[in-house]
Homo-oligomer: A and B are copies of this chain.
Amino acid sequence: MQLLEQRDYQKLRSILSDMYAADIAAVLEELPENKLPIVFRILPKELASETFAYFDTDIQEVLIRAFSDTELEEVINQLYLDDTVDMIEEMPANIVRRILDHTTPEMRLEINQILKYPKDSAGSIMTTEYVALKPDMTVSEAFTRIRRTAIDKETVYTCYVIANDRTLIGVVTVKDLLMHEYENQIKDIMETNVIFVNTHEDKEIVAKAFERYDFLALPVVDRENRLVGIVTIDDAVDVLQDEATEDIEMMAAITPTDKPYLKTGVFETWRKRIPWLLLLMISATFTGSIIQHYEDALGKYIILSSFIPMLMDTGGNAGGQSSVTIIRGLSLGEIEMRDILRIIWKEMRVAVMCGLTLSVTVFFKILFIDRPPEQPITIALIVSGTMALAVVVAKIVGCSLPVLAKRIGFDPAVMASPFITTIVDAVSLMIYFGIVSNVMAL
């Protein structure tokens, strides 16, 4: 930064050249917009394009606007195809046109091909830069081919064996190649039982396959089983992280977004949150109407209303714990639909234990700390009884709704704390006033 002010570009260049692209990107993102292109131009060419791929789209846009046509061409041609596509998807139309004008016709064709795949599909996250081998090549010919094309490929460690019609017939890793003699033929050493995905497969399924099989890359085929691209592990990791973020956002009653928090506008943030708040607010008025219905009982024993927040909150928390545990289990594949009876049975036992602990605590707390002036034992019994029942109901509702949501095709993450709380609140109060009106009438 200081070097920049002293215009000591030479020194700056030598420092930056020793850094990793990911780190350079992080440093450069902190620079003011007008300095950014200057420093970027100091970078050696190859490192520059590598760094470019690490920037957020808004920084990429600033740079592209500052680039000359030659500079643009240089950077774009060095980028991996999937990074180019990611960038294009988020740029305004005039910039996209400028980018496409500076790519080769073949590349343009491939970009357009990938852009056509639905968002969140395997096709949309794949790259077409993979190593293809023929079954009758020898190991030594395969190495020659890899050496010749390696520079442009995102990964060379998994190579795909295709027939003349481009259908995928096998896969061979560089490790396999290294462990066989040079004169062996690919068709004799390749693995023919290939795990692949279709271009239209959901990217979440793709990421799950990486987790399950510990692959470094996964082939993507079209409807005729022709190899069209590969997904690499780094993109799969991003998908896994995005899916976790999406789940977390939905669990907090927010419509998920792809953008990082600080890059999302105020209006957009509002738009992602307000529908859920409104919906939940309206649902919560139902709970209010229960209170209204028991106005008379409350009017007589106003102390009863002071336990409402505790009963509502504890019910909500107990239900939230169960629902969130089940939602995460479903999304990691640890829990399946057919486990529902085991889940309910387990949660019931946990709920009874939690309910008893809480209700005993609350019983003694009311008796010895709150000490209500009238009928202390009756009140303590009513509140602790409600507590035990509410926790059991909350946990059963909490663990079964996510599974049911999944069964009818909704994302289970919707059935997290906010919704469970709203339902459990109403149920807790109905139990509470049910007991109150029965006991107090005696």
A418 interface hit (Cβ, 8 Å): yes
Distance between Cα atoms of A292 and B379 in the complex (Å): 15
Residues of B within 8 A of A193 (CB): 18-20
Are the CB atoms of A358 and B320 closer together than 8 Å?
Answer: no
Q: Mark A268-307, 1 if CB is under 8 A from B, else 0.
A: 0110011011101110110111011001001100110111
Distance between Cα atoms of A306 and B288 in the complex (Å): 4
Cβ of A281 to closest chain B Cβ, rounded Å? 5
Residues of B within 8 A of A143 (CB): 178
Report copies per complex: 2
Residues of B within 8 A of A314 (CB): 277, 280-281, 284
Are the CB atoms of A339 and B241 closer together than 8 Å?
Answer: no
Residues of B within 8 A of A302 (CB): 295, 298-299
Residues of B within 8 A of A262 (CB): 329, 334-335, 339, 342-343, 346
A397 interface hit (Cβ, 8 Å): no
Residues of B within 8 A of A210 (CB): 237
Distance between Cα atoms of A323 and B323 in the complex (Å): 19
Cβ of A106 to closest chain B Cβ, rounded Å? 23
A146 interface hit (Cβ, 8 Å): yes
Interface segment among A3-11, A116-124, A220-228, A243-251: the answer is: A243-251
Are the CB atoms of A308 and B306 closer together than 8 Å?
Answer: no
Residue of B nearest to A18 (CB): B193
Residues of B within 8 A of A196 (CB): none
Residues of B within 8 A of A332 (CB): 241, 245, 260
Of the residues B151, B240, B277, contact of A237 by C-beta under 8 Å: B240
Are the CB atoms of A281 and B310 closer together than 8 Å?
Answer: yes
* Given A157-B174, A314-B284; A266-B353 close (CB under 8 Å): yes
Residue of B nearest to A307 (CB): B288
* Given A248-B248, A349-B266, A353-B266; A306-B320 close (CB under 8 Å): no
Residues of B within 8 A of A18 (CB): 193
Distance between Cα atoms of A150 and B18 in the complex (Å): 31
Give the contacts of A27-64 with B (CB-CB under 8 A): none
Distance between Cα atoms of A328 and B251 in the complex (Å): 12
* Given A241-B211, A260-B334; A248-B313 close (CB under 8 Å): no
A229 interface hit (Cβ, 8 Å): no
Of the residues B245, B307, B318, contact of A277 by C-beta under 8 Å: B318
Are the CB atoms of A179 and B157 closer together than 8 Å?
Answer: no
Are the CB atoms of B354 and A253 closer together than 8 Å?
Answer: no
Distance between Cα atoms of A261 and B342 in the complex (Å): 11
Residue of B nearest to A260 (CB): B334
Are the CB atoms of A270 and B309 closer together than 8 Å?
Answer: no
Cβ of A208 to closest chain B Cβ, rounded Å? 11
Are the CB atoms of B278 and A357 closer together than 8 Å?
Answer: yes
A108 interface hit (Cβ, 8 Å): no
Q: Mark A66-110, 1 if CB is under 8 A from B, else 0.
A: 000000000000000000000000000000000000000000000
Are the CB atoms of A313 and B274 closer together than 8 Å?
Answer: no
Distance between Cα atoms of A427 and B237 in the complex (Å): 41
Give the contacts of A191-236 with B (CB-CB under 8 A): 193, 195, 210-214, 216, 233-234
Beyond A249-B328, A270-B350, A281-B314: 16 further Cβ-contacts under 8 Å? A157-B174, A244-B248, A247-B248, A252-B323, A260-B332, A261-B325, A262-B334, A262-B346, A266-B349, A269-B346, A274-B354, A280-B317, A284-B310, A295-B303, A309-B429, A316-B316
The 3 residue pairs across chains A and B that have the minimum distance between CB atoms? A252-B324, A287-B309, A244-B244
Q: Which residues of A contact B (CB under 8 A)?
A: 18-20, 22, 143, 146-147, 150-151, 156-157, 174-175, 178-179, 193, 195, 210-214, 216, 233-234, 237-238, 240-241, 244-245, 247-249, 251-254, 260-262, 266-267, 269-270, 273-274, 276-278, 280-282, 284-285, 287-289, 291-292, 295, 298-299, 302-303, 305-310, 312-314, 316-318, 320-321, 323-326, 328-329, 332, 334-335, 339, 342-343, 346, 349-350, 353-354, 357-358, 361-362, 365, 370, 391, 416-418, 421-422, 425, 429
CB-defined A-B contacts under 8 Å, sample of 10: A143-B178, A262-B342, A269-B350, A277-B391, A281-B313, A288-B308, A291-B305, A291-B306, A292-B306, A313-B422
